[in-house]
Amino acid sequence: MDEPAAKDLYPGTFSRNAAAYKRRLDEVMARGEAHGRTAVIAWVDPTPGKRILDLACGPGTLSYPLAKAVSPGGAVVGIDLAPGMIELAQRDAPPGLPLTFELMDMEDLRFPDHSFDAAVSGHGFQFVPDLRRALAETRRVLKPDARMAASVPVDPPNPSDAQAILERSIGRALPPAPKARDQFATRRLVEDADSFAAIAKQAGFSATEVVRYEESTTWASPQHFIDMSAGWWSMAIRLERLSPGERASLLDRATRAIEAQLGFGPLQIAGATNVLRAIA
């Protein structure tokens, strides 16, 4: 079977799993473990009166704190290609904040030139087929000297034992996670700090650098880890074809395997993030 295009695969996947994605990310953010995303917010220096664009905003993870920071007088616009994410972000938005959310493609922004004082993206640019175009569009809608920051996940130096056990215990019973045929080049670019910074320069940013953040997420028990992993998009899409009973059985098997080898928790799961910091 041919691999799908990114814009055919990801919007539906993220829409179907929006609520589970939000639950997991809310936990990680609340514990202060999402160092890359936190660094994105800090770099753009959100202050009252600023107008900020949140690219691939998902369920509003960065949009909400940014909107609080730019009040009064500012505004945050979040865009995403997944309708389910936009609906969730709108539904759960804290009342009174200067927030709007729109269904929009990062590669084709429907805003005039120089519309924003800053732009952010939390784990979004790795999905775009044409990274240079998406970055150039971001540069176009920013005011001169405005800041942009974007986080992307990268593989940690040493994968966690719990993740390896999860894949060994149930991986053969699941289809592999589908991959989009038109974003392999993007994945390679964002994982290499020098390449990521260079393509942002090519897209028109005057100054660029990429900072790597090592991260670790904490889960109270193997059951907690499996529950959160099952709802994360890359595992959820592999579980979708199974019946509820089959899913429950496989996830229970994985939980027991982790308990047998690592005990009953808590578990520390390694991660890493590259953060592009750029000036228009």
**Which residue(s) pair with 209 in the sheet?**
277
The span from the CA of 213 to the CA of 67, in Å, is 25
Strands 99-103 and 75-80: parallel
**pLDDT value at position 217?**
96
Per the model's pLDDT, the better-predicted residue between 184 and 263 turns out to be 263
Segment 206-253, tens digit of pLDDT: 999 999 999 999 999 999 999 999 988 889 989 988 999 999 999 999
Following DSSP, what letter does each residue of 196-207 receive, concatenated? HHHHHHHTT-SE
CA 194 vs. chain centroid, Å, equals 21
Q: Rg (Cα) of the chain, in Å, rounded? A: 19
* Strand ranges inside 109-141, DSSP E: 116-122
The span from the CA of 57 to the CA of 63, in Å, is 7
Torsions phi, psi of 11, nearest 5?
A: -60, -45
Q: Is 66 exposed, middle or buried (0-12, 13-18, 19+ CB in 10 A)?
A: buried
Confidence label for 157 from pLDDT (cuts 50, 70 and 90): confident
Residue (of 175, 174, 233) closest to 16 by Cα position: 233
- CB-facing half-sphere around the CA of 55: CA atoms within 13 A: 33
CB 123 within 8 A of CB 105: no
Residue (of 20, 5, 2, 1) closest to 180 by Cα position: 5
CA 46, 52, 58: angle at the middle one, nearest 5?
105
Confidence label for 177 from pLDDT (cuts 50, 70 and 90): confident
Residue (of 57, 56, 208) closest to 134 by Cα position: 56
Segment 34-92, tens digit of pLDDT: 999 999 999 999 999 999 999 999 999 999 999 999 999 999 999 999 999 999 999 99
